[in-house]
Amino acid sequence: MREIEVTFPDDYQVESLAGQTAVFEVTAKTVQAPTVAAVDEDFVRSFGIDSGSIDELRDGLRRNMERELNQALRKQVKQQVLDALVERNPLEVPQALISDEIGRLREQMQQQLGGQMSADQLGDELFQDEARRRAQVGLILSELVNHTGVQADEESIRSQVQELASAYEDPQQVEQYYYQNQEMLQGVQAMVVEDKVIDWVLANANVTERQSSFDEMMNRNTQSG
């Protein structure tokens, strides 16, 4: 077992942890060295491509990269829009809403840390700023939904479910799971409404575009959590 010192990035999603240093205890189970595989038909078939076609593998990789890039772009644009909305619309947030968000953030952090820290070790002060921001975002989006009248239509919900399921090995099975789970489906509906509000804001805002490489986009997406 050894201790590893980790510094959270300055733009970490939990603002109270951004730029802070934490120490984790790590135990190495195995040590392995990488080997370079030969790109042949057997290699291609190991990815579930029965034909063994390298071109088919390339096409699949290209589609996956395009999907990941689109998702990363959407996530970052959405984050920028929400940041601008919060900055331009300061609100007094009820403490009850902040407390609810703190509970959710604490639970997420425990999952990320693999249960290594108890709820008592993760005090409210760690999540206060991010919880307040999330509560502000929720109130602002709720007001914009009322203002714009946007709704989650069936086609948009279906499209969102398909996009979420496309990242899995068996998309049809995942889609079926969503439609059989009312709580999951409600989550998708909320995502659709939120996306429609973001689209409305973008359509009514002054937008400045700039070019970025695939690696730059994916790195920023990873750092933003």
pLDDT band at 115 (very low <50, low <70, confident <90, very high): confident
Percent over 90 (pLDDT), the chain: 39
What is the average per-residue pLDDT within 13-41? 80
pLDDT tens-place string over residues 162-210: 989 988 889 999 999 999 999 999 999 999 999 999 999 999 888 777 7
**Residue spans per domain, the chain:** 150-204
pTM of the model: 0.62
Please, which contacts does 149-156 make with residues 24 or more away whose CB atoms are closer than 8 Å? 150/193, 150/196, 150/197, 150/200, 151/193, 151/196, 152/188, 152/189, 152/190, 152/192, 152/193, 152/196, 153/192, 156/192, 156/196
Per-residue CA distances from 109 to 79, 105, 181 (Å): 20, 6, 25
pLDDT band at 225 (very low <50, low <70, confident <90, very high): low
Q: Please tell me what DSSP assigns to residue 127.
A: T
Residues 6+ apart with CB under 8 A from 170: none
What is the average per-residue pLDDT within 55-62? 90
DSSP 134-164: HHHHHHHHHHHHHHH-----HHHHHHHHHHH
Distance CA 102, CA 125 (A): 9
Residue 16 · residue 125 · CB < 8 Å = yes
pLDDT above 90 for 108: no
**26: helix, strand or coil:** strand
Residue in 73, 58, 74, 84 with CA at minimum distance from that of residue 205: 84
For the chain, the C-alpha Rg in angstroms (whole number) is: 21
pLDDT at 117: 74
What one-letter code names the amino acid at 39?
A: V
Residue 20 tokens, joined: 């802070």
Distance CA 216, CA 12 (A): 17
